[in-house]
Amino acid sequence: MKVLLINGSPHREGCTHTALAEIAAELQKQGVESTEFWIGPAPQGGCLGCGGCARTGRCVQKDKVNEALELLGEVDGLIVGTPVHYAAASGSVTGFLDRLFYAGSASLRYKPAAAVASARRAGTTAALDQLNKYFTFNQMPLVSSQYWNMVHGTCPDEVRQDAEGLQIMRQLARNMAWMLRCIEAGKAAGVPLPETEEKVRTNFIR
């Protein structure tokens, strides 16, 4: 079993990474492998609405999104970490996820997912609500912890002093490992995936 950890911060080893590293360490204790994918400091543009990904399964913009798409088939779960900018996920995370989910939704469907937010003080719950919408739109079971998935601090050393936040990360990792084992046991017992109807699209203006 393997979980993809997306680091949506422009700082490779900043506060978001510190939270994800705590998750990765606990996942390892639970016998679950993880890979941290850093989207990098370059701005990640939003979707162009060109429809190219529907034909190829890849984004026409040649950047980190396509690198991440290559990993989706190898993982069983997803955790997205973001810094908080103005009570929301960063612009790069938003652009990245818009395109990742447009192009890779089939590879992510039914895989457990969670969002993690890092902030100095506030705005985390709004950012988590924003990110969770990607998962629920795509039929991905949400993995929770014992509180909202957030850490606080202006630098990694301050995040490491957030004892409650780090505990939340560890419990999130344990809950992810448990859900992955449950899904694996269900597959072994012959439990099929839910039947999915063909999507109906109702436009409000006709």
Domains and CATH numbers, the chain: 2-188 (3.40.50.360)
- Helix ranges, 46-90 (H): 52-56, 64-72
Q: Where are the beta strands (DSSP E) in the chain?
A: 2-7, 33-38, 77-83, 113-119, 150-152
Which residues of the chain have a pLDDT value below 70?
Answer: 206
Residue 4 pLDDT: 98
Q: Which uninterrupted H or E stretch holds 102?
A: helix 91-108
- Total Cβ atoms within 10 A of residue 205: 3
Residue 199 pLDDT: 87
Residue 13 pLDDT: 97
Position 52, amino acid: G
Residue 205 pLDDT: 78
Residue 204 pLDDT: 83
> Which residues, including other chains, have CB under 8 Å from residue 152's CB and lie 6 or more apart?
118, 119, 120, 121, 124, 158, 159, 162, 165
**Nearest in space to 32 (alpha carbons), one of 175, 187, 169:** 175
* Backbone region of residue 179 per phi and psi (left: phi > 0; alpha: psi in -120 to 50; beta: other values): alpha
